[in-house]
Amino acid sequence: MKVDWKVWLSGVTAAGLVVAGLTTGSVVAAKKKEVLNVAHRGASAYAPEHTLPSYKLGDKMKGDYIEIDLQMTQDGHLICMHDETLDRTTNGSGQVKDHTLSEIKKLDAGSWFNEKYPQYAKPEYAGQQVPTLDEVLEHFGPNKKYYIETKAPHVYPGMEEKLLDTLERHRLLRKNSLRKGHVLIQSFSQESLLKVHRLNPDIPLVQLLSYPSPATITDEELAAVKSYAIGVGPNFQMIDREFVQKVRKHGLDIHPYTVNSKEDMKKLIDWGVTGMFTNHPDRLREVLKGR
């Protein structure tokens, strides 16, 4: 998804935000020295993504955050799934938005992983259900940390309100929890993040970025991001040391995705990133322990 910066900046202006401003959540992570280890879709190299086994394994491997992508069912339930369609990670087919939760709960969300990655296959992965956001938060509780993405929010009107209602029910929007960074919300959609910011300006946000070629970003663009978010999340393959340092000089965090080799992890840490997404949280933990 290519970011149209002109449209993006005009959206910030239209929202009435002060470009030089900071959200109260901007103290999260940026003031810390450690690099955040974000378990991408759980420990998704070793277990079927966005299932409870994957999230549990990411937590066991000491990931700092459980990363959750959200889609919404026909009957308005938030579920944990990366794609807008069911085809890749279940034995179902079609759009998530065209299926009820009851229909999706009947699907097998794990056998595909055993077939694709036999070296990591386990009998218990077969028949895994697609979890709801409620189920994940209920299982891990309010003391864990969650990095949540609103996927395709234009497809799901009201997604942001449902997300905040769910977080509130699970006691994750308490000021103390937000200050400790128990929840980060990210999106490629600037509109979705601005909506969350209007609903609750205390929630720390991260603007995901996608580039078709090596990334560049201007001071004006970074100032616009800083008016509502604490950081950016670019594709690690599109950035360089200069990009990272420019983001940091603006007082923003930078959490590149998706970094799976130790060599790339080490390089990004040397460049000054403040966190990264990985399918191998165990590898990143080893790299960080070695430093």
List Cβ neighbours of 291 (8 Å cut-off, separation of 6 or more).
269
Q: How far is CA 231 from CA 91, 171, 191, in A?
A: 36, 24, 16
**Whether 40 is catalytic:** yes
CA gap 179, 290 in Å, rounded: 28
What are the counts of helices (DSSP H) followed by strands (DSSP E) for the chain?
12, 9
Please report the sign of the dihedral spanned by the C-alpha atoms of residue 206, residue 246, residue 239, residue 277.
negative
- Could you identify the residue written with the tokens 């929010």? 153
**37/134 Cα distance (integer angstroms):** 23
Catalytic residue among 50, 82, 197, 255: 82
Is residue 291 classed exposed, middle or buried when 0-12, 13-18 and 19+ CB atoms within 10 A define those classes? Answer: exposed
Residue 170 is among the residues annotated as catalytic for this protein: no
Asked if 186 contacts 206 with a C-beta cutoff of 8 angstroms, the reply is yes
Catalytic residue among 40, 50, 99, 182: 40
For residues 285 and 37, the answer to whether their CB atoms sit within 8 Å is yes
- The residues that are catalytic are 40, 82
